Structure 1
Amino acid sequence: MGDTSTTRTTATEDLCDMDGPVLKRLLKDDGSGSGGSSSSSGSGSGARCLLLDCRSFLAFSAGHVRGAVNARCNSIVRRRARARGSALSLERVLAGDEEARARLRAGLYAAVVLYDERTPDAGSVRADSTLALVRRALCADAPGAAMFLLKGGYDQFFSEFPEFCLKTKSLPVLSSQSSVESACSSCGTPHRDQGGPVEILPFLYLGSALHASRREVLDTVGISALLNVSSDCPNHFEGDYQYKSIPVEDNHKEDISSWFLEAIEFIDSVRDSSGRVLVHCQAGISRSATICLAYLMKRKRVRLDEAFEFVRRRRSIISPNFSFMGQLLQFESQVLATSCAAAAAASPLLAPTSAAVLGGSRPATPTSPFIFSFPVSVVVNPAYLHHSSPITTSPGY
């Protein structure tokens, strides 16, 4: 019992409880109520309260408190931090949210509110939880911040004040291959071209060549740039939209990973100019899906299985070919290795004792190319592959 008491004291030091009605008042004062802006109040220039959602990327994407920022870290760094009891840096916890980090360090937030799924109070926070890791990062890099835990977490707050939450509209249930084929034959339009491009992130869309060829579709979605991941799909509206082409075929010989960083930089440039980019190939199934997965892994610091499920929920027919999946696994290992190296540089206690191994293969170093040649021993989770359909290896996807 003594150990438990010490653990809880360490985990909740400087962390006070906050009731839902109090947070509601703070959100109303920050202009993030039901009638306010849906933009992030946490990183907004006039916000007084920073909300840190300490749940997974998938949970945050499904629904979160208005204005919240997703605070997370990849699983390898998190395990090492838990085991060694050391603090992570804000760069790891708030990857990709430079404004929130700068405002934190400048002491511009009157309060920082943390929450997870349903932790009832600060006394219940476990020392090895993401909540505790985020709290320690704040203590190390932003020691002046007043920290609070939202009692009952997101579940309780959403049940009491749903108008102060942003919830993703219900995504369609994933169809079986037979129902997909039935839908295609009944309407005469291939399933890949039905509807319009799907939103992956507010500035990032995934679709097919048909979507990219229809100006009314592009304008309806608000597309300002197109990333054409093919060697034969034309850029129909040169001069009217910003274009970038990645000339790769959909076959096992292609090294699509050599284009990952260039594609990520292009997507970032569109995001930074407040634009929206459509990533497409011929069918929006293999090549363009691979680029979107790589972007999520790099910028959201999520693993391949989490990124894959996130995209598949939005476009159920995605199915990168086996070689591309192998290259994504290698890219995952590099992203994780880079995160670990950065964390180790910030805290020597996090220095890795051995290289991480994913799927039985040695991870690429930050300077090595992502070459994936057959034969190779890579364990690919069957859930990555579109169920009931063969692995796509033929050109045109």
Structure 2
Amino acid sequence: NKHSTHKGKGRKPEKTVFVKHDVLLHTCGSLHPTEPLAVAVVFFLTRKIKAGRCRTAPLNVSRHVWEPQHNIPYRLSNGTNKGSDYQSGIKPVISIVTPLSQGSAVQNDTAVLVPSVPERPVVRGGYVTAQQVYNFLNAEAGEPALHNPDYILILDCRSTERYKQSHMVTARVSLTVLHPELGCLITRSQLQEYSIILLYGEEGDRADEGFTPALQRIPVAYHGSSRESAGDTPTLQRCFFQLSSLGMDPVVLQGGYAAFSRLYPFLCTPTMILLESERRALTIYPSEILEGALYQGSARQASDYRIIKNLHITHVLNATAECPDAFPSTLRYLHLRLNDDTHQDVAEIFPAATRFITQALRAEGGRVLVHCSLGRSRSSALTLAFLMEHRHWTLRHAYQWLKERRACAAPNDGFLRQLLSYEERLFGKKLTDLQDIRV
């Protein structure tokens, strides 16, 4: 018996109990979280631990798994019932988490993660990816971007016939703004109202072949057909030069319309959106955090079956205490009843949330939507915890990644402090300063 050193010579325990540590963040060989021990031994060791006299020093890194208990309800729905399978309690006990696909934070009692730097997609200068455009369109910092006519100007530089067949939602035919002979058909001040001016052709390897916007930003005088070669210049390049000559800073969709429509066909339409009422009727989608895998949004989006279907969501992490699971009979849920309060304890839930997302993404075709009420604070805390553990990113890198994809993400100060502590638990030391990420 590995606990014989604690029992004394000739003493036989009269009674055993099932014990757990009274002191969180402590584990040692003397007192295992789930080891049956004599009552007297439990009292003896617990006093030593509380007094700080345990011969085995507490670990710098400890992990938690979840054991259903009572009083603090949560629900794990597997998508095969009506959501009646309530389990109760998410009280943590000290344990080691099963290794993740990219390595577990704790492979043994002393291991810590080695931080890594996010790998960015390769994007040529002056270009943006289809995922970036998707998140631009669905940005919700204040008024939803799609509902704001002055946020983004999208110019379809393909033929009019191709535009009529299908185009990006809210896009305009380039000829209606930039004519090859008449020049720019709207004023410079109107152009300056837009936060983003986006151009796209048919395919990246055709419409913009050999064209590098970053190398073409030169102050040239370009007025319609003033260049003899204007008629021979591809439409996308001509539009780019016209806008640049007016002092604008347009960007080009990498891969063209083909790349975007393949990934986001639900944001493409043959209809031309002109009226404000038509804009406000457009659906705002959750932000895409990991391409084709992880999304973050609001409770309203999580309850819109069209969004769930179009994004092929299979798992939902509900981080609210106030919003029910919308589709428990068809989707798998983890419902963590959290309040958006600086005193809400979320650190003990991070491992469970991370494990749920990881297991979902391991499944074939698995896609996860993490949501709270507005998709800003509680959901952001859980997404950040996942990125830190699963991708081995520091809080600073994870926060930067999230903000680039969801500008409205803003975990409250209490959550940020707990994320800082979680970072120290994962990596064995503090790597991020709160001032580096405070909004």
Please indicate the TM-score interval, normalised by the length of the shorter structure.
0.3 to 0.5
Q: Based on CA coordinates, which of the two structures has the bigger radius of gyration?
A: 2
Using the size of structure 2 for normalisation, the TM-score is 0.38
Using the size of structure 1 for normalisation, the TM-score is 0.42
Determine which structure has the larger helix proportion and give its number. Answer: 1
